[in-house]
Every structure is written in C-alpha cells, then in structure tokens.
C-alpha cells in the first residue's frame, strides 16, 4: 500500500478525514454519556422525598394506578412536611377521588363553610389534611367541587 503524506491530500479529503474523526469523537462521547446515565440512573423528581415522608408518593398507593402532583412542597429540618394539591372538580379530579387514591379514611371535621379537616397517621407521621373549597359546600357537593388540599405531616 502506498503511503500518502498529509500535504499531498486535497482539501476535500482533509475535510473528510477531519469530519470522520469528529464523528468518532462524538460517538465515543455519546456512548460514555449513555453509560453514565445507565449506571447512575435519573435524579429523583422534585418533591418526591417530601411525598414519601408524608406517605403520599404514588408508589405507596399504586392500587388505583393514578396519583396527584403537588403544586407546592416543603420539608423542615425537624421532619415536618407540607404539601399542597389542587383538584379541579372535573374529569375525575375530585376530593373524593383524592381521598380514595391515598386511602384516607379519617372522619372529616368541618372548620368553616368552605373548609374540612381530616387527621390520620401514616407510619410515624401524624397527617392533617385541610380541604378548602372554592365556594361554600353542602354535604352533597363537598366531594365533587374544586378545592385546594393542604397536607401537613409531622413526626410523632
């Protein structure tokens, strides 16, 4: 095989060689990135730790194959967790469905014309669910109205 010096190549062949070398570098980089992602895994979703602490993570209640995503989440250094949810009152997004999805069977206490409170325990956490309806409700419409749900979980 005859050896060809770099200076004797045309600019098109030089460009092709450089392009192929850059493609090889890119392929090696992508393979390394994929390898790292497979080994490390994906980072946890924001709020996932807080949901687990409060006992409201979807893997803890996967019986119904659905879950609600918190609109706000915060954990204190003392271990208390605050989560906020919004249910729209339409398309199966009701307070009743929220309570059923997360197995909340506590008896409600009415704390105002548009507010209900539920209290229960999950593991070593004492949870308080406050449901604030967008409008005053009666006993027949309290589960089928749009509402904001705040969850406060405090360790015992």
The CA distances from residue 54 to 103, 113, 128, 152, in Å, are 13, 27, 10, 8
Tokens of 132: 């604030």
Distance between CA atoms of 99 and 102, rounded to whole angstroms? 5
Its pTM surpasses 0.85: no
Tokens of 15: 């460009």
Distance between CA atoms of 19 and 21, rounded to whole angstroms? 5
Tokens of 57: 């993570």
Cα dihedral value 123, 128, 132, 133, nearest 10 = 50
Rg of the chain taking only CA atoms, in angstroms: 28
* pLDDT number for residue 80: 93
pLDDT (tens, 9 = 90+) of the chain, 156 residues, equals: 677 787 778 888 889 999 999 999 999 999 999 999 899 877 778 888 888 888 888 777 777 667 888 899 999 988 899 999 998 877 777 888 888 888 888 888 887 778 889 999 888 889 999 999 887 766 666 667 788 999 999 998
The CA distances from residue 109 to 10, 79, 155, in Å, are 85, 25, 22
Residue with structure tokens 């090889």?
24
* pLDDT number for residue 27: 98
């Amino acid at each position: 095989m005859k050896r060809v010096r770099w200076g004797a190549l045309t600019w098109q062949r030089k460009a092709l060689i450089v392009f192929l070398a850059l493609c090889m570098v890119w392929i090696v980089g992508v393979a390394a990135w994929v390898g790292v992602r497979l080994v490390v895994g994906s980072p946890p979703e924001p709020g996932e730790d807080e949901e687990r602490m409060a006992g409201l993570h979807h893997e803890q209640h996967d019986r119904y194959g659905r879950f609600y995503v918190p609109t706000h989440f915060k954990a204190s250094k003392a271990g208390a967790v605050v989560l906020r949810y919004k249910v729209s009152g339409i398309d199966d997004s009701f307070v009743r469905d929220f309570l059923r999805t997360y197995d909340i069977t506590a008896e409600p206490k009415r704390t105002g014309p548009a507010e209900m409170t539920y209290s229960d325990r999950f593991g070593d956490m004492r949870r308080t669910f406050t449901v604030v309806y967008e409008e005053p409700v009666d006993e027949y419409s309290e589960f089928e109205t749009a509402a904001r749900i705040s969850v406060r979980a405090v360790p015992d």
